[in-house]
Amino acid sequence: MFAAILVSLAVVFVAELGDKSQLITMTYALRHRWWVVLSGVGIAAMLVHGLSVTIGHFLGLTLPERPIAFAAATAFLLFAVWTWREGRSGDDDEVRVAEPRFIIPAIISSFVLAELGDKTMLATVALASDRDPWGVWIGATIGMVLADGVAIVVGAMLHKKLPAGFLHGMASVLFLLFGLWMLFDAALGWRTVALAVTGGVALCIAVATAVRFRRARRARAAQASERDSSSESV
């Protein structure tokens, strides 16, 4: 059992690094207290990996990939819209909003949807097929919580150095690209279309961001020159 815990913890922790669940964690951590986010992540990890262990050790079944991919893609597109609206309506200060009543269920549901059929869940299914199921469940849950705890720390560091509006916009774009890729590639099986759509959207967003940045710099330069001219005249 101890060996199963160690192996599962290491596999899941490495698999979660850079995964979309860390993106979700960072996004939630921008607006809510770290312990609230981590509590939701922990409960979701127990549920997801409990299901994985059940499938791998007791049932030996495979998950229906396309329906799960459709649900996950829809969830990510909704995350993109929600995050974008949060960024536009919020401010850039360090104060977190009061915790809504249903924030933990929202975190749990979004994580469960995002993790169903993900490589982490598939790895847990494979580990549970020939190792102690309780050890795999405990190790996988701890590994996911640790990896997403790293995401919370990174999100807190970014929040101190970058405006919250910029971070929300960046997270919204990544959610959008993840959702489009999962919709066209995993759900519909159109790899070429997925590459074209996500690449095209990413290029358009990059160009629009560059144009907006240049306009903002010109506006700031014009304001600075106006202030200099007014001070010289005085």
Output the DSSP codes for 82-116.
HHHHHHHHS-SSSPPPPPPTTHHHHHHHHHHHHHT
Please tell me which residue, 92 or 63, carries the higher pLDDT value.
Answer: 63
Write out pLDDT tens, residues 7-64. 888 988 887 877 777 877 877 777 778 888 889 999 999 998 888 888 877 766 566 6
Please tell me which residue, 118 or 211, carries the higher pLDDT value.
Answer: 211
Rounded-to-integer distance, Cα 218 and Cα 45, Å? 47
- What pTM was estimated for this model as a whole? 0.67
- Which residue range forms the structural domain that includes residue 19? 2-189
Token code pair at residue 28: 């939630």
Rounded-to-integer distance, Cα 193 and Cα 99, Å? 40
Q: Which uninterrupted H or E stretch holds 64?
A: none
Residue 229 lies in a domain: no
Q: Which residues contact 92 (CB under 8 A, 6 or more apart)?
A: 163, 164, 165
Residue 206 lies in a domain: no
Residue 204 lies in a domain: no
Write out pLDDT tens, residues 148-168. 898 888 877 776 776 666 766
Residue 211 lies in a domain: no
pLDDT of residue 99: 52
pLDDT at 196 over 60: yes
Domain count, the chain: 1
